[in-house]
Amino acid sequence: MVQKQGKILANSSEHLVAKKAATDNLVEISDLHFAYGERKVLTGINLNIPRGKVVAILGVSGCGKSTLLHQIGGQLKPDSGSVKVLGKTVHQLDNDALYALRREMGMMFQVSGLFSDLTVYDNIAFPMREHTDLSEQMIHDLVLMKLQAVGLRGARNLMPRDLSGGMERRVALARAIAIDPALIIYDEPFAGLDPISLNTIANLIRRLNDALGVTSVVVTYDISESLKIVDYVYFIHNGKVVAEGETAQMMDSNDPFVHQFIHAEPDGPVAFQYPGRPYEEDLR
């Protein structure tokens, strides 16, 4: 009897460990393939985004980073493989379930994506009004709270055209966290920013992730800033994950692609010239 109880307890313990392992990752991508017609973009991506962490997905322009985001958000469906977010296979969801899942995601777009005819206040209030039944008084308090978090409470009555580039990104960040999503995705958050604004946005990403207990994915080609704030890094090249690891590991990596990317070297696995015939043949 004691032996039987011991087996039951052992099996129960193993089940709990397996269940915890299954829920530790907020995003799970397995053997993901996708092509635009004949052009293959993703050719077997495997990666996991752990809960509560800031993860960077790095790679040169055109390597498939934005396509990967579209797979996570359900705008595109894989040719094969799977994308799971919060335990749900994204491409198998119907429209209602997909929209419900998207409410668990916040997105900071590459060009901010603010509504040009709405004030800063109304830009932040928009997702609250669309997706919740909160009173206007509660929305008012929450909007000011989000703007306070990004240092722009005093700019609530400005229009997007009145904002600097750095301020615009901070408003976009406030809108991304407006309804307290489980996952926040940052698509090239540092592009086009001056050094002061860039450092401010980077620190906000880290600070808000830890304060809100969310999970963040930073998709960028900016090495210097992203490696200061992330916990884990994936490098994508030719549609695959070519290297991954904790930030400190990647900084000291001897992998040819990682070394070339981090040190911005002109020669390495990433060729400067687009594939073509030998130059001498084209001159004939």
Domain range annotation of the chain:
27-104+183-192+220-270
What does the pLDDT look like over 195-243, one tens digit per residue? 888 888 888 889 889 988 899 999 887 777 788 889 999 989 888 898 8
Residue 55: the pLDDT is 94
State both tokens at 98. 């997909």
pLDDT at residue 3, as a whole number: 53
What predicted TM-score, i.e. pTM, was given to this entire model?
A: 0.80
> If pLDDT is split at 50, 70 and 90, which confidence band does 274 have?
low
Burial label for 253, CB within 10 Å (0-12, 13-18, 19+), is middle
Q: What is the mean pLDDT of residues 4-15?
A: 49
Res. 4: pLDDT tops 70: no
pLDDT of residue 93 exceeding 80, the answer is yes
**Residue 39 predicted with pLDDT over 70:** yes
The rounded distance, in Å, linking the Cα atoms of 272 and 134 is 53
Task: Please check whether the domain covering 27-104+183-192+220-270 is classified as CATH 3.40.50.300.
Answer: yes
In this structure, the dihedral spanned by the alpha carbons of residues 147, 153, 155 and 157, taken in order and rounded to 10 degrees, is: 90
Residue tagged 């916040």 (tokens): 106
Cα angle value 60/220/235 (rounded, 5°): 55
User: What whole-number distance in Å separates Cα of residue 87 and Cα of residue 110?
Assistant: 27
